[in-house]
Chains A and B, each alone.
Chain A
Amino acid sequence: NAGVTQTPKFQVLKTGQSMTLQCAQDMNHNSMYWYRQDPGMGLRLIYYSASEGTTDKGEVPNGYNVSRLNKREFSLRLESAAPSQTSVYFCASRARQGTRMVHQPQHFGDGTRLSIL
């Protein structure tokens, strides 16, 4: 069981370049999330998707866009990368029944380590 799969694992970009981080889950979860993790800052929510076809901003959305391509896949795009976006990015998913969250934890991918020069 793969769970949550993120690609790539590592990436180095130059300032101004664009890039899409990919995330896929095989647990049939409705809700998916993108976080960034920086030293001393914990995990902060960038965007989330409660269900296929919907996306919403989290705590730190500026400089990012997302696409919920289908139930399995949720991508994060940096249109014009900036050094402040150097971070480790985690995708997560969670089960949901209708409009109610199921009492189960979020499951995380292994992360993408992104450096922007």
Chain B
Amino acid sequence: GAVVSQHPSWVICKSGTSVKIECRSLDFQATTMFWYRQFPKQSLMLMATSNEGSKATYEQGVEKDKFLINHASLTLSTLTVTSAHPEDSSFYICSARDRVTGNTIYFGEGSWLTVV
């Protein structure tokens, strides 16, 4: 089946620094990728929709200047958490829609971010 790879799987960073998370579709082209955040024992909350070659669409309450999203190619989207703070510590997970099969959405493995 289709594979979405997310890297790193876990990262610890100091408060005030920036962290980049990559999401790659390995064997399909993804015109659209989605970024979610999941706090412990909570659901996945959509942060933004990333379209290849255009600006991301952010959900209400998500700071676009803090969570920078770049979708430069059909197989790669990146999420950069800028000036990270402890409250940004969470499980971040991406998903990608296969442009060929249409509706099918595949998830990356997720990235655990801990800001100390």
Q: Do A and B bind each other?
A: no
